Amino acid sequence: MSLVMDHKGAGRELFEGRIGMPWSRFRALRRLEGTARSQRELADLMGVDASAMSAIVGDLLQRGLVSRETSPDDGRRKIVAITDAGRQLITDVRETTDVVPPLVAALDAGERRELLRLVDKMRAGADA
> Domain tally for the chain?
1
Q: pTM to 2 decimals?
A: 0.74
Region 7-26: mean pLDDT is 77
- pLDDT tens column, 92-126: 887 776 666 777 778 888 998 898 889 888 877 77
Region 71-81: mean pLDDT is 91
Low-confidence winner among 27-36, 84-93, 116-125 (lowest mean pLDDT): 116-125
- Going by pLDDT thresholds of 50, 70 and 90, the confidence category of residue 9 is low
How is the chain classified by DSSP, letter by letter? -HHHHHHHHHHHHHHHHHHTS-HHHHHHHHHHSSS-EEHHHHHHHHT--HHHHHHHHHHHHHTTSEEEEE-SS-TT-EEEEE-HHHHHHHHHHHH--S---HHHHTS-HHHHHHHHHHHHHHHHHHH-
Determine the structural domain holding residue 103 and report its residue range: 2-127
The pLDDT of residue 25: 94
- Going by pLDDT thresholds of 50, 70 and 90, the confidence category of residue 82 is very high
What rounded mean pLDDT belongs to the chain? 86
The pLDDT of residue 79: 96
Q: Give the CATH number, domain containing residue 26.
A: 1.10.10.10
